[in-house]
Structure 1
Amino acid sequence: MKMLIDFLPIVIFFIVYKLTDDLILATAVLIPATMLQMAYTWFTTKKVEKMQLVTLVLVVVLGGLTVALQDGQFIKWKPTIVNWLFSLAFLGSQFIGQKPIVQRLMGKSVELPSQVWRKLNVAWVVFFAAMGGINLYVAFNYSESTWVDFKLFGMLGLTFVFIIAQGLYMSRFMPKDMEKED
């Protein structure tokens, strides 16, 4: 359910764009949709993740610039900035703190050697950096409609493929007794 709520603003953005072929209008709808998603998350869980806050700020700032200046270039930068910020955060966690971010996120449910956690963390650094670059490439080398399709389906699809690959990699290092429990 949480994943559905998290993706709802981008799905609404996509639907509005496909119905109107208007990036400015779709962005104008995205801003309050993201705010409502954040409010719903706060009221139901009494917490908001940093990732959600960063996304909200960027949607409001870059979306606001897109609407105010009637220039879709600003909103096209949002996925890149979000991905590059995540890449930097994951990279920084290699050097700051006891555990890399990926271990902090998944370490309670999965037991892996510390070197594997570090490799997984670096993989996320590269993934986020690449996703940011791919977004810019699609945004500025293809049609607006292609970029909107890529933003929903391409980025989501690449993320799922990456997560599956990560799971396969992780399974090689999981204790045998943990595999039997599943």
Structure 2
Amino acid sequence: MKQFIDFIPLILFFIVYKLEPRNVELAGQSFELGGIFSATAVLIASSVVVYGALLVLQRKLEKGQWLTLAACLLFGGMTLAFHSETFLKWKAPVVNWLFAVGFAATHFIGDKVLIQRIMGHAVQLPEQIWTRLNLAWVAFFVFSGCANLFVAFTFHDIWVDFKVFGSLGMTVLFLVAQGVYLARHIHDDAPQQSKD
């Protein structure tokens, strides 16, 4: 569920982006609603609200959530300040690659790889399985970053669609594949009851 909460600002961004641009009056001010720049403003505002609410409710944010919020504020802010969508196009690739670096770094720092730190309380697996799973996450984030970058700068008309649905679809497919992989390595250790 946590992974999908992170998509709320992205979905709101998509909805506003797809609106036909129009002027809207709010508190005596006129704002343009629709298109990339108002969608970016909604992305920033909704990210602050979503992660702010999570911070209040949980009294903390995960490192990945802090990274996503910081990237949204940085790249979204530069998009609005310089009135150029190029900055926003770099957000998804950079965030994905930073996640890849984070997962990869745990092979050299600490006693457990990151995926084991995240899931180890719920699943018991041999070390080599945790290592393979963590490397799969590294590969996923590298691929996802490259795919987002390629689409953003090659297919201008669909990059926002891909950013929302392509990223979500890739994540869901990867999580399903991870579930299938884990199912092969999880064994029920409960003793068999004898039938009399």
**Normalising TM by the smaller chain, what interval?**
over 0.9
Please state how far the C-alpha of 1:177 moved relative to its aligned partner: 3.0
Which residue does the alignment assign to 2:163? 151
Is residue 138 of structure 2 the alignment partner of residue 125 of structure 1? yes
Taking the TM superposition and a 5 Å limit, the aligned residue runs for 1:33-48 are 33-48=46-61
Question: What 5-or-longer segments of structure 2 have no aligned partner?
Answer: 21-33
Output the CA distance in 2 between the equivalents of 1:163 and 1:2.
Answer: 13
Higher relative CO (Cα under 8 Å, sequence separation at least 6) belongs to: 1
CA deviation map 1:137-172 (0-9, x unaligned) = 00001024x111111111111111111111111111
Q: TM-score, normalised by structure 1?
A: 0.93
Is residue 58 of structure 2 the alignment partner of residue 54 of structure 1? no
Is residue 179 of structure 2 the alignment partner of residue 167 of structure 1? yes
Q: TM-score, normalised by structure 2?
A: 0.86
CA deviation map 1:36-61 (0-9, x unaligned) = 11111011111111111111111111
Output the CA distance in 1 between the equivalents of 2:4 and 2:185.
Answer: 31
Please state how far the C-alpha of 1:26 moved relative to its aligned partner: 0.5
Q: Which one has the largest radius of gyration?
A: 2
Higher strand share: 2
User: Aligned Cα RMSD in Å?
Assistant: 1.5
Amino acid at match of 2:63: K
Which residue does the alignment assign to 1:136? 149
Which residue does the alignment assign to 1:13? 13
Contact 1:111 1:175 (C-alpha < 8 Å) held by counterparts: no
Please state how far the C-alpha of 1:5 moved relative to its aligned partner: 3.4
CA deviation map 1:67-121 (0-9, x unaligned) = 1111001001111011000000000001111110000001111111000000000
Taking the TM superposition and a 5 Å limit, the aligned residue runs for 1:66-145 are 66-144=79-157
Q: Secondary structure at the match of 1:94?
A: coil
Q: Secondary structure at the match of 2:7?
A: helix
Question: What number of residue pairs does the alignment pair up?
Answer: 178
Output the CA distance in 2 between the equivalents of 1:95 and 1:83.
Answer: 20
Amino acid at match of 1:10: L
Question: What is the aligned-residue identity percentage?
Answer: 46
| CA spacing shift, 1:163–1:5, aligned 2, 3 Å | closer
Please state how far the C-alpha of 1:65 moved relative to its aligned partner: 0.7
